[in-house]
Amino acid sequence: MILTTKRLLLREFVEDDWHAVLAYQSDPRYFRYYSFTQRSAEDAQAFVHRFISWQKERPRTRFQLAVTLPAEGRLIGSCGVRMVANDAVEAELGYEFDPSFWGQGYATEAARTMAAYGFKQLELHRIWAACLAENIASVRVLEKIGMKPEGRLRENRWMKNRWWDMLVYGLLESEL
Ligand SMILES: CC(C)(COP(=O)(O)OP(=O)(O)OC[C@H]1O[C@@H](n2cnc3c(N)ncnc32)[C@H](O)[C@@H]1OP(=O)(O)O)[C@@H](O)C(=O)NCCC(=O)NCCS
């Protein structure tokens, strides 16, 4: 499966992508809002392998694509939707990008295209996402693609020796 946007090409992960994933997941800016503080080659390999295993699902319910810059083929992040069951009418949206490419609208561009794929090709009714309330960049991406705030889960995540709030956002097919 391949999706294209104005500046990006989203393609299926291949095993060798773990090198590029490890390179950006080792940047401290990347894991600021994650529980871990370092990544190993094994972590990156497992991360990529999980998405490759989703490609074999029949019917397929989970999609996480490698986001690349088409000119040089460079992997700069990933973006996907995950249904909870194959008859699901809703899916969760998720993304992450190489910090070297933040702030250029790439996450917004990829997330918007992935949401459109979810509504048009997967015939979803609702796409939702959850992110740490303090992860302002992620909140902005969700807002920019038109997602509406649906709630705040107060202190529902314990990591880095403290509690964190999470925000839930949702988008309906009629709102795309
Ligand atoms: C969240 C993430 C994917 C955003 O990627 P990106 O390509 O920089 O996103 P975009 O450029 O499309 O948009 C980012 C927006 O956040 C804004 N932003 C970034 N940091 C900000 C801050 N500290 N305060 C306010 N706004 C901020 C940017 O200005 C931009 O908004 P704008 O277009 O209105 O100016 C990226 O930060 C990331 O990969 N983070 C680590 C992984 C992660 O948190 N994933 C999401 C888990 S829920």
pLDDT (0 to 100) of residue 38: 93
Q: What is the number of the ligand 1 atom nearest to the C-alpha of 108?
A: 12
111 CA: nearest ligand 1 atom:
12
**pLDDT value, residue 90:** 96
Note down the domain range covering 102.
Answer: 2-175
Instruction: Specify the pLDDT at position 85.
Output: 80
pTM: predicted TM-score of the whole model, two decimal places: 0.97
* Index of the ligand 1 atom closest to the CA of residue 137: 16
Q: Minimal CA–CA distance to 97: which of 7, 161, 2?
A: 7
175 in helix, strand or coil? helix
> For the chain, what is the domain count?
1
21 CA to centre of ligand 1 in angstroms = 18
pLDDT tens-digit readout, 67-91:
999 999 999 999 999 998 877 899 9
In order of 34, 52, 79, 146, 155, the CA distances from 165 in angstroms are 13, 31, 23, 21, 4
Q: Is 21 in the pocket of ligand 1 (CB under 6 A)?
A: no
Q: CA–CA separation, 136 vs 127, rounded Å? A: 20
Q: What is the CATH number of the domain that holds 130?
A: 3.40.630.30
